[in-house]
Amino acid sequence: MHITVERSGGFIGVPMTRELDTTKVSQQQSIELETLLGAADFFNLKDALTQEPDRFQYSIKVKNHDQSHEIHVTETQMSDNLYALMEKTLELSA
């Protein structure tokens, strides 16, 4: 699985992009990411991006086998499960 998280906006507006290939992390971490992906129901999420001053906007892309999906959300629109997926991706790609 390949996950890309792009962050823009915020108070300072410094963009950030992180990419993670789960073949490059431990099997346990890969399973944890798969679990978070399922808990967030990622492949069924729709874009929810609205303009919110000084808030981060995220583009999250996931390619998993024959599935590919991308969503755009602000930090306040993320479910707890989606936030956990994004945070874990950032942690493992740092």
Q: Give the strands of the sheet with 56-64, arranged side by side.
A: 16-21, 2-9, 56-64, 67-74
| Distance in angstroms (rounded) separating the CA atoms of residues 61 and 28 | 21
* Distances from the Cα of 12 to the Cα of 34, 37, 44, angstroms: 32, 29, 32
Number of domains in the chain: 1
| Residue 84 predicted with pLDDT over 90 | yes
What's the domain range around 25?
A: 2-93
Q: pLDDT tens-digit profile of 15-65?
A: 899 999 999 999 999 999 999 999 999 999 988 767 777 788 899 999 988
> For residues 72 and 92, is the Cβ–Cβ distance under 8 A?
no
What's the pLDDT at 14? 80
